[in-house]
Chains A and B, each alone.
Chain A
Amino acid sequence: MFYFPVPDLQPPASESMSFPFIPTAFERTAKWMRRGGRESDIALSSRVRLARNLKRYEFPHHASPQELLTVRHKTFQALEFNQGTAGLNEIKLLPFEEFTGWERQSLIDRYLTSREHVGEELARGLAATPDASLSILINEEDHLRLQSLLPGLQLVPAFDLVDHVDDALESYFDAHGGLAYSQEFGYLTACPTNAGTGMRASVMLHLPALEISEKIERARKWAEGKGLTLRGTFGEGSKVWGHLHQLSNQVTLGLDEAEILMDVENAAQEICTMERQARAALPTRHSIETRDRIGRAYGALRYARRMGCREATECLSLMRLAHEINWAKGLNRQRFNELMVWIRPAYLQVMHGRAISGTERDTLRCELLGPHIAKIKLEAAFSVASGTRPRRVEAPEAKTENTSDDDSLHSKNEDE
């Protein structure tokens, strides 16, 4: 199977404490892909991110490379020192200089980091557990960004996870100048929009029914009224791929952490209810459109030999919807979560081991999807069209003069 690393590829020689090769650093199935949390039919994952900075050094945008290297070195030391703390015992340290562009890019595919972070390799790094439930971005926009990623809707456990790590690191850094904090502005961050709690809590929501029934704008405006944003996940600047939306808080200062978490969780719950209602109405209200879209998606996935990432993501999303409204069966939620990441270009590249072109990737994608899609069976409910059936159109009467038995395109009569 091609998605295990090619045997003759050697990991780079590095020091003892876990600077591993990225494909071996992470498990194929991350924690957030598995079962857990509430509302798993719509809420795919919950993430809490805390931004922290060291007081002694300038923020990454302004700091010199030496400063950034010192920050990363100190952070790695802090993590080694705290190995015994909850969640940190399995943590792996990944300095970016040791990895190729594709490997760094694959971290984005796993929902771990952002494009700005992997663009630069000097003095940047990532520390993460193999199941990706806990990770620390080093020298992205701030010195440290601690984040936890859990399945379903469970923001409070996600916060607890990251809270403990924050406490552990804070007590280490107290001896090295302390964290940047002020009475008035709370935890100080590079961007003032993150200051205060430094916390961004987000939930990834799968909202195909709201998109099909065109109610997504209403949901977005409702969220904005609550001080939250509803944006696309992949692709920066709110481009929506695969009907995946991310709901997160906008305000970080002036409210305490519990309040922010409660706001986001309640709003996510509400949007899940909206989506469920829309899904229930799909078979009747948007019968033809939904069936058309799902049918095309199924056909493409089943029979195509090459497919781009965007198209594959959309098709998988629709098959997922089909499963949720009982028009198809064969795969479970975990498999959909896994496939969503496994088809992404950098992930494919890294797992394959050697450099491949875009077309090769497209072919590989279909090869990867093949065996899984073969397990899908469309249910009877999908084929039955409800609602008004179009009137049968009478076929025109066949003219007897010019018909011939041979109905081919190439006419034998020259006079024709």
Chain B
Amino acid sequence: MFCESCNEHPATVFISQIIGNEVTQFRLCETCARQRAEANYQANHNESGAENSEASLEEVVFGLFEEIEHRSDFFSRHEEEDSDEGNGFSMNEVFMELQSHPFNDDEFPSDEELADDLDEMDDLDEDFDNLPPELAAALDAANDSADDVFNASLDEIIKSNPFGDTSERREIAARRCPKCSITWDRLRQDGRAGCAHCYETFADQLHEVMQRVQHAPQHHGKKPRAAEKRRNRLEHLRARRDHRLEMLNRRLDEAVRAEKYEEAAKLRDQIKMVSSTIIQEN
């Protein structure tokens, strides 16, 4: 339905005025309502210095607008400061917060702590039930507009957190070491790995653990000589392969320049074969 006064814009402000037994209803668009309120407010206050015993309708509306504006200012201001406190808390965020401590059981909130958090959130809801209706309506309106801002930042959080994606989290929870078949949860609970292969299976999680618990997640210091010999051999093989590639490339260039295309084709195949071999430790 359209605004009563301008008939152009849709009506968004609906006022029911009840004086005694008399009920009057107005349907106005925001602009018209504001204009009317301002005009009448000015008129009333210019006429007489004394206050009117009855607050006029326009004054009430104008006052309401002011309140609404104040409230929405309040929300947008606080949204920037801390987005995970107060009523901007979603269950999704709670789970992500819990997931982001992979190892140290001391930091994992206990069941009691979790229950306390949820109870606190329930208490907040109770307070909201007792607000005067206009204020509640105004708050709802403000919340709706702020939601868009909030949802955008939530997406960002999900993307940055490696465990944020639910499917990946499920995959990690289900992953078992191929040798001793323990899960990451089991490792965390016992505080012990099951076998040497666990370090490979859960490399990322353990990397994070080491970062927190140890000095650095990379080993310096004594290496077993066999491992060192193997690595030296790998280096040696890689160097040889690179050298061979270099030589083949050189010959290819020469062949192309000398227009010996058959030879060039053969060389090209050889290069493709050599460069596709991957030398790595098993």
* Of B193, B213, B219, the contact of A184 (CB 8 Å cutoff): B219
Q: Which residues from chain A contact B196 at a C-beta distance below 8 Å? A: 53, 55, 59, 180, 182, 188
Task: Type the 1/0 row for A165-197, where 1 means its CB is closer than 8 Å to any CB of B.
Answer: 011001100100011111111111111110111
Q: Which residues from chain A contact B180 at a C-beta distance below 8 Å? A: 58, 62
Determine the main DSSP class of B at the interface with A.
loop
Measured CB to CB, the closest approach of chain A to B214, in angstroms, equals: 4
Say yes or no: is B131 at the interface (Cβ < 8 Å to chain A): no
* Of B199, B215, B225, the contact of A182 (CB 8 Å cutoff): B199
A184→B215 contact, CB < 8 A: no
Say yes or no: is A254 at the interface (Cβ < 8 Å to chain B): yes
Q: Which residues from chain A contact B216 at a C-beta distance below 8 Å? A: 253-255
Which of A53, A55, A255 has the largest number of chain B CB atoms within 10 A?
A: A255
Say yes or no: is A378 at the interface (Cβ < 8 Å to chain B): no
B179→A58 contact, CB < 8 A: yes
Measured CB to CB, the closest approach of chain A to B211, in angstroms, equals: 9
Say yes or no: is A377 at the interface (Cβ < 8 Å to chain B): no
* Of B193, B215, B218, B227, the contact of A59 (CB 8 Å cutoff): B193
Task: Type the 1/0 row for B56-70, where 1 means its CB is closer than 8 Å to any CB of A.
Answer: 000000000000000
Q: Which residues from chain A contact B224 at a C-beta distance below 8 Å? A: 170, 174, 178-179, 181, 187
Task: Type the 1/0 row for A224-238, where 1 means its CB is closer than 8 Å to any CB of B.
Answer: 000100000000000
Q: Which residues from chain A contact B221 at a C-beta distance below 8 Å? A: 186, 196-197, 255-257
Q: Which residues from chain B contact A62 at a C-beta distance below 8 Å? A: 180, 182, 192, 194-195
Say yes or no: is B207 at the interface (Cβ < 8 Å to chain A): yes
Say yes or no: is B217 at the interface (Cβ < 8 Å to chain A): yes
Say yes or no: is A285 at the interface (Cβ < 8 Å to chain B): no
B195→A257 contact, CB < 8 A: no
Q: Which residues from chain B contact A196 at a C-beta distance below 8 Å? A: 214, 219, 221
Measured CB to CB, the closest approach of chain A to B174, in angstroms, equals: 19
> What are 9 pairs between A and B in contact, CB < 8 Å?
A61-B190, A62-B180, A62-B195, A167-B225, A188-B199, A195-B199, A197-B222, A255-B215, A256-B221
* Interface residues, chain B, with chain A CB atoms under 8 Å away: 103, 179-180, 182, 190-196, 199-200, 203, 206-207, 209-210, 213-227, 231
* Interface residues, chain A, with chain B CB atoms under 8 Å away: 53, 55, 57-59, 61-62, 141, 163, 166-167, 170-171, 174, 178-193, 195-197, 227, 251-257
